[in-house]
Amino acid sequence: TLTDDQERTLMKLVVDAKTDRVLGCHMVGPDAGEIVQSLAIAIKAGATKQVFDDTIGVHPTAAEEFVTMRTPAKR
């Protein structure tokens, strides 16, 4: 989303594949503490990945990436 930004931000959502529930998130980068704190509310409330997908993110911000992640990485 922020293609011209030289700062790197790494982030990941941990999702239960069977229930679609978001179990946690990881973020390293500018403003990570502020962004992750707001995600904790959604996670504690039991939000699913679909809820994240249906959410419109504030553009342009790094936080927007959490609601536009589409490619799962299975391990």
Residue-wise pLDDT for 3-56, tens only, equals 566 788 899 999 999 999 999 999 999 889 888 998 999 999 999 999 999 988
Q: What is the pLDDT of residue 47?
A: 97
Out of 1.20.120.1200, 3.30.390.30, 3.40.190.290, 3.40.50.11540, which CATH number does the structure's domain 10-67 have? 3.30.390.30
Q: What residues does 13 pair with on adjacent strands?
A: 25
In the prediction, which pLDDT does 57 show? 79
26, 11 contact by CB (below 8 A):
yes
Tell me, what's the pLDDT at 20? Answer: 97
Is residue 26 annotated as part of the catalytic site, yes or no? no
* pLDDT(1) > 60: no
Helices then strands, each counted (H, E), the chain = 2, 2
> Which one from 55, 59, 60, 72 is the annotated catalytic residue?
59
pTM: 0.75
Please give the C-alpha separations between residue 47 and each of 11, 12, 15, 27, in angstroms, as whole numbers.
18, 15, 10, 18
